[in-house]
């Protein structure tokens, strides 16, 4: 049997994804049922308990393949966008239709009950969330797009699915400066270091795994010479359990648990401070 990472492969002793048949041992293999995330966002947890720590989050419009629904209202499955496995509240999931026609291009936008910013917002969706939109209305000079099934969103905050991606993922990361740090967070209300990397890359049309150790293994290629090499904008600096993005040779942007926010700080200061707790950087990686 293959030694697979359970964060990225759905298997337990009692059941597993049918696609893993022959690769893992399980009492039962199931095909799973795909559901779409209908909540504005929802926690993804390693165990089906409200008090369990936050591992990640699922975004509105994403697809979640369910392999088990519990009597307590949890769905165990795998998120299609990054293959992350965990438990999501079943009430956060719904039908695959309607399929998203647009994605949120603003760091965050509000969902209104109708096309008017003076109406009380129903909630907020974050960068990368998918929305099914049809029709538009202009109210007092602001254009809104209608959401299938009810509600409206500011038209300037969304773009069609299939539109050109962001040209510079580092510039996307900069838009999150001062966002609070949240372990396991993946939205503009709060996110962690690996989520800042993942969300910024996804906005630029690039896929990335969820966790720091996986990113260090799979993102781009190692820079020969590491810190003795010429560093460049967009390089990823990895430590044990942490990652940041270079703005340039001297500045780093990262979601920092020390600052409890997304910050830009001098690279040398970050290296010195982090070294006292986690040691020296472990690698530098660069996208092609």
Q: Determine if the peptide bond prior to 196 is cis (ω within 30°).
A: no
Residue-wise pLDDT for 2-48, tens only, equals: 589 999 999 999 999 999 999 999 999 999 999 999 999 999 999 99
The answer to whether residue 257 scores a pLDDT higher than 60 is yes
**Helix, strand, coil percent values for the chain (each to nearest 5):** 15, 40, 45
pLDDT in tens, 189-198: 999 999 999 9
- Could you give phi then psi for residue 213, rounded to 5 degrees? -65, -35
pLDDT in tens, 258-274: 999 999 999 999 999 99
**pLDDT for 137-177, tens place per residue?**
999 999 999 999 999 999 999 999 999 999 999 999 999 99
- Note the pLDDT of residue 200: 98
The average pLDDT across 204-229 equals: 92
pTM equals: 0.96
Alpha-carbon dihedral sign for residues 20, 24, 30, 34: negative
Smallest CA-to-CA distance from 107 within 36, 160, 150, 166 is with: 166
Contact 111, 121 (CB under 8 A): yes
**Alpha carbon distance 243, 156 (integer Å):** 32
Q: Does residue 263 contact residue 251 with C-beta atoms inside 8 Å?
A: no
Mean pLDDT of the chain: 96
């Amino acid at each position: 049997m293959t030694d697979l990472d359970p964060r990225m492969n759905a298997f337990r002793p009692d059941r597993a994804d049918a696609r893993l048949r022959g690769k893992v041992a399980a009492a039962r293999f199931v095909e799973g049922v795909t559901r779409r995330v209908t909540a504005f966002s929802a926690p993804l947890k390693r165990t089906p308990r409200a008090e369990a720590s936050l591992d990640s989050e699922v975004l509105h419009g994403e697809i979640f393949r369910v392999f088990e629904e519990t009597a307590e209202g949890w769905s165990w499955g795998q998120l299609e966008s990054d293959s992350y496995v965990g438990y999501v509240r079943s009430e956060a999931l719904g039908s695959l239709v309607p399929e998203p026609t647009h994605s949120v291009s603003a760091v965050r936008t509000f969902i209104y009950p109708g096309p008017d910013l003076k109406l009380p917002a129903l909630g907020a969706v974050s960068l990368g969330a998918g929305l099914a939109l049809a029709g538009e209305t202009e109210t007092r000079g602001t254009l809104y797009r209608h959401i299938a099934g009810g509600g409206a969103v500011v038209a300037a905050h969304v773009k069609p699915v299939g539109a050109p991606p962001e040209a510079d993922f580092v510039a996307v990361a900069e838009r999150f400066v001062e966002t609070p740090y949240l372990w396991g967070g993946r939205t503009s209300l709060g996110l962690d270091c690996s989520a800042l990397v993942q969300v910024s890359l996804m906005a630029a049309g690039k896929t990335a795994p969820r966790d720091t150790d996986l990113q260090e293994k799979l993102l781009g290629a190692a820079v020969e010479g590491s810190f003795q090499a010429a560093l460049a904008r967009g390089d990823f600096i990895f430590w044990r359990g942490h990652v940041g993005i270079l703005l340039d040779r001297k500045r780093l942007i990262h979601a920092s648990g020390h600052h409890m926010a997304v910050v830009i700080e001098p690279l040398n200061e970050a290296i010195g401070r982090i070294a006292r707790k986690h040691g020296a950087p472990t690698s530098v990686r660069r996208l092609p």
